[in-house]
Structure 1
Amino acid sequence: MLKFKKYAAIDIGSNAVRLLVADIIEQENKPTIFRKTSLVRVPIRLGSDVFIDHTISESNKQRMVDTMLAFKLLMKSHKVQRYKACATSAMRESTNGIEVVKAVRQKSGITIDVIDGEVEAAIIAATDLKSYLIEEKTYLYVDVGGGSTEFSVIHGGTTVASKSFKIGTVRLLNDMVPNALWKELEIWIKTNTEEFDKVDLIGSGGNINKIFKLSGKKMGRPLTYFWLTSFYNDLQNYTYDERITELDLNQDRADVIIPATRIYLSSMKWSGAKDIYVPKIGLSDGIVKSMYFNTVSSQELD
């Protein structure tokens, strides 16, 4: 006899806001199945406000309210039972983040939790990541966002080091990442990977998912450092408009994809990784799993 639940995760990032609706299918004496049924992405780009002016503009505040109202209706249409909304780098650094959270709650009924980098990394770790790992191998997990990037060194199936750095695609576009921070990241990666003979990268985030799709590779196959370097060089030969028309990128992806690729390539260079695997998992997947296993709080849909 199967039992069904329907949960939703809202990921409020520095570049975009996402709603993931998932079916949870419980089977007797078998592992629970988590199946994505809907994914909606709205490119509000809160980071463009916050990383420059330290505040969310009235325009984007209204867009947040409108988006959450739309997500509420979509969740009702899907008959979602429980949800969790998490806001990351941009919201936690804005001077009026609490004001925006209150406005969203008042006008849409959606409760937003503003989480720090460590909690974000812990939620991501709750995904199906382990099912992609070979226990004997060592991996550097890199989750690139608009405001920050989360790094974890995984050895023997266990996380041995992790850290969040304020190096993200939107910050890089606005030239807001000092050389000293890049150097700090380089030292951290080298220090935490140098004892291992071989390291593979695991890439997470919308940009690497799109890059993988453009590569035409089959799921489970890695992208090589050589291929990604060539792709990075080719990207820069296209104008912004050409990346939209010829590479079929969305407007809000066509600019951030270049700094995102730089972060992945730098991580591969400093860890000595020759391959990057792209399992297409992220914060939203982790939120759903964490809700199911009661490791985070969640809200019943009104």
Structure 2
Amino acid sequence: MIRIKKYAAIDIGSNAVRLLISDIIENEENDKVKFKKSALVRVPIRLGEDTFGIGEISEKNVTRLTDAMNAFQLLMSVHGVEKYKACATSAMRDASNGKYVIDRILKKTGIKIDIIDGEIEAQIIATTDLGELLDNSKSYLYVDVGGGSTEMTIYKKGNVINSKSFKVGTVRMLNQKDALADIWDEMKEWVKHNTKGLKNISLIGSGGNINKIYKMSGRTDGSPLSFIYMKANYKYLKAMTYEERISELNLNQDRADVIIPATKIYVSAMKWSDAKKIYVPKIGLSDGIVKSLYAGVIE
């Protein structure tokens, strides 16, 4: 006999805001649990453009975010969601009025938002199916690129060796390019130092941009992208104008610009770690929130 629960995750990122509704299917006969995506809604509010530009979330985007939360509340009600968690990442935690924004949204919508740091973000993502994808005889550099930050974790023989969050993200790179040189160098040295001596290391990439790159590649699920392909793809994307990426590649407006800095981060991480392949499982913070909720790791 099976039992189905509905949980939801709200991921308030620097580039977009997402609602993931998942069916959690429990099989009482064999104690197996399956997580199945029921609905996914993405709204391109781009809070990071405010935070990394003027230091705070603008009134316009506070209103848009509040409207999105009201809409998400209705959708969760219609779907019969019994438990949910809302997490805000880099843009909200760096905004001078972040606390005011979440207090206002709680009052207007009833949705409580937790602002999480990069370390907690990485821990939540680690609760996804990532462990099932790792070959315990190999080493991996996991790279999650968001709009405001990049989370990196190194795995060796199935164990976490080190992890770190860097204030380098796609929207931040578009708005604060000249101010990120020192952090970029820090990220480079961290990767080189922590991957030194690890043979045949591969990258595992997560985030909306690498998922889009993978989809455009036409690869079958599970097969990796090569370093040569990623370098060529970066050069190809850079040669196109913003308008061409929208018209010829059918990218959304909020994807057509950030895909360039995102690709740069992945290609650079591969170069620094001497990784020849990058695997792209479809996992992210939203998936981790749902699984962490179910496991009782977060409330």
Residue matched to 1:236: 238
Q: Does 1:22 pair with 2:22? A: yes
Q: Secondary structure at the match of 2:197?
A: coil
Secondary structure of 2:91's partner? helix
Q: Does 1:198 align with 2:200?
A: yes
Unpaired segments ≥5 residues, structure 1: 298-302
Percent of paired sites with the same residue: 59
Question: Aligned residue for 2:59?
Answer: 58
Instruction: State which of 252, 255, 273 in structure 1 corresponds to 2:254.
Output: 252
Q: Indicate conservation of the 8 Å contact 2:173/2:180, yes or no.
A: no
Name the residue aligned to 2:228.
226
Which range is displaced more, 23-32 or 67-76?
Answer: 23-32
1:102 aligns with 2:103: yes
Measure how far apart 1:178 and its partner are. Answer: 2.5
Other-structure match for 1:300: none
Residues 95-134 of structure 1: pairs in structure 2 closer than 5 A:
95-134=96-135
Work out whether residues 55 and 96 of structure 2, in 8 Å CA contact, stay in contact via their aligned partners in 1. Answer: yes
1:265 maps to amino acid: V
Question: How far, CA to CA, are the matches of 1:178 and 1:113 in structure 2?
Answer: 27
Q: Deviations over 1:132-173 (max 9, x none)?
A: 111101000000000000000011111110000000000111
Correspondence for 1:47:
48
Could you tell me how far 1:175 is from its partner in structure 2?
Answer: 3.3
5 Å-filtered alignment, 1:138-287, equals 138-176=139-177, 177-287=179-289
Structure 2 residue identity aligned to 1:132: L
Alpha-carbon contact 2:8-2:19 (below 8 Å) kept: yes
Q: Residue in 1 aligned with 2:7?
A: 7
Q: Report the residue type matching 1:245 in the other structure.
A: S
Q: Tell me how large the CA RMSD over aligned residues is.
A: 0.7
| 2:52 and 2:176 in contact (8 A); partners too | no
Task: Tell me the TM-score normalized by structure 2.
Answer: 0.98
Amino acid at match of 2:89: T
**Equivalents in 1 of 2:266, 2:22: separation in Å?**
29
Number of residue pairs the alignment of both structures matches: 297
In structure 2, how many angstroms separate the alpha carbons of the residues matched to 1:179 and 1:116?
A: 22
CA contact (8 A) 2:25 2:34 kept: yes
| Cα deviation, residue 131, structure 1 | 1.1
Per the alignment, in what secondary structure is the counterpart of residue 178 of structure 1? Answer: helix
TM-score by length of 1: 0.97
Three-state SS of the structure 1 residue aligned to 2:151 is strand
User: For 2:46 and 2:145, how far apart are their aligned partners in 1?
Assistant: 15
Say if 2:202 and 2:277, in contact at 8 Å, map to a contact too.
Answer: yes
3-state SS of paired residue (1:4): strand
CA contact (8 A) 2:102 2:112 kept: yes
Post-superposition shift, 1:238?
1.0
Q: C-alpha displacement at 1:180, in angstroms?
A: 1.6
Secondary structure class of the residue paired with 2:239: coil
Identify unmatched segments of 5+ residues in structure 2. Answer: none
Following the alignment from structure 1 to structure 2, what is the Cα–Cα distance between the partners of residues 49 and 180? Answer: 22
The one-letter code sitting in structure 2 at the alignment partner of 1:277 is: Y
Contact 2:151 2:164 in 1 (8 A): yes
1:26 positional shift: 0.6
Aligned-partner Cα distance in 1 for 2:87–2:73: 15
User: SS at the partner of 1:107?
Assistant: helix
Alpha-carbon displacement from aligned partner over 1:226-246 (angstroms, at most 9, x marks no partner): 001111101011110110010
Equivalent residue for 2:72? 71
* DSSP-derived class of the 1:11 partner: strand
* The one of 286, 291, 294 aligned to 1:292: 294
